Structure 1
Amino acid sequence: MRGYPRLVNALVLPGVYAPQDDTDLLVEALSEEPLAPGARVLDVGTGSGALALVAARRGAEVTAVDVSRRAVWTARLNARLARLPVRIRRGNLFGPVRGRSFDVILANPPYVPSPDARPEPRGRSRAWDAGRDGRLVLDRICRDAPALLRPGGVLLIVQSAVSGAERTLELLRGTGLEAAVSRRRWIGFGPVLRARLGWLRERGLLSAADEREELVVIRAERAF
């Protein structure tokens, strides 16, 4: 497991998604984006607030959103401890920021396919479960995020290839954004995927030869 040297040290309350390889990969992608002082950044699904704090340290005006009360409490605590001015709101994806626009939108959504037949995940599993195809939240981000980007604005999404990176690219390009995979990383299966290997292979989402998971960051830019 990585030490995440680029991430702000963050406290994580029980039930809140802790920074992992996908967070680290998104931080790497963000580090390549030129953020002007006061650039507006939205971190949707902020979890512990780690990504929001990285952006705030670069002088951005950051808004962070999460549907989980514990995540909101955690992110507010971490922002206070870091003495960084992050606006943190509780809500479902873009609901709390309707009518606003951003230079950068960061998204590390739930993307793990789930055999659970319930339409919406509950409890801790909301941090990773994303419907039968892993796209419960990804499709909504692809649909709604482009309208919140300023001209020249950038959307950065991290997801597993298991949940269809090509589908994400297709949807974003369909809204007029220029989209491409900007970063890739192969990692060992975590405990959630390991527990579902048989089901994922039965559905053809993983092959019998797959022993690792590919994470990707998709970068989508709105033309001026």
Structure 2
Amino acid sequence: MKLLKPPGVYAPQEDTAMLIAALRREHLSPQAHVLDVGTGTGAVAIAAAHHGAARVVAIDTSAVAVLTTRLNALLSGHARAIRVSRGDLTEPVTGLRFDLVLANPPYVPSAEVPMAGRGAARAWEAGVDGRAVIDELCANVPALLRPKGVLLVVHSVMSNPAMTVARLTEAGLDATVTERRFVPFGPVLRERADWLETQGLIEHGQEKEELVVIRAEQP
């Protein structure tokens, strides 16, 4: 289906497609509860509902993204299954438990302070090491997973997937990289390629980044 993608809301891209493909490989029970962190247009939340989730909670810090997801859920026919909340990462669902948590967090390394940007930039700016939001997810998500619950998170190799796997493993999850894909730089990475090179995050003349999907399961 076509999604509403207003200015200021992160439009689905290759990372979104990878996360949705990983979601579709998961078996969901008819009673499955799913959490989509940083929902943007709601593309992943809608895919989860279409895949059979009984209940999907979609969260975004942007009021425009929250409204967009509600409208897209309605247009997709999944409005009854999807509840959209505005809030910071997992804060709106503290104390709840889910069978599947999906996350496409900000992960682009930047000299800017994370979350200081306006509009769609909030969906990618992630601090000098690209881990400002990823680390918070690694700390918070394990407590949200039911037994055998799964986290699927997508991010760039520039933001250190090995560290993500290590932190999730330290939290007691069985974590591994399940997919890798090279994609051409978009406008944001092309614009800051010189800075990324000075940080040692890309090679001179590099024009593609490697994205990964990490799957972590609660025992």
> One fold, TM greater than 0.5?
yes
TM-score range, shorter chain: over 0.9
Aligned to 2:57: 63
Q: Which amino acid is 2:52 matched to? A: G
Aligned to 1:123: 118
* TM-score normalised per structure 1: 0.93
Question: Once the two structures are aligned, what percentage of the paired residues are identical?
Answer: 53
Paired residues for 1:1-224 under 5 Å? 8-60=1-53, 61-84=55-78, 85=80, 86-116=82-112, 118=113, 120-124=115-119, 125-208=121-204, 210-223=206-219
| Count of aligned pairs | 215
Runs of at least 5 residues in structure 2 that lack an aligned partner in the other structure: none
Deviation at 1:58, TM superposition (A): 2.2
* TM-score normalised per structure 2: 0.95
Q: Hey, what's the Cα distance between the residues in 2 that align with 1:30 and 1:58?
A: 8
Runs of at least 5 residues in structure 1 that lack an aligned partner in the other structure: 1-7
Matched position secondary structure for 2:132: coil
Q: Which amino acid is 2:18 matched to? A: L
Deviations 1:75-114 (A, max 9, x none): 0000111121200000001111111000000000110011
Q: Which amino acid is 2:99 matched to? A: D
CA RMSD of aligned residues (A): 1.0
Deviation at 1:119, TM superposition (A): 5.2
8 Å CA contact retained: 1:113, 1:131: yes
Distance 1:120 1:27, change over 3 A: closer
Q: Which amino acid is 1:147 matched to? A: A
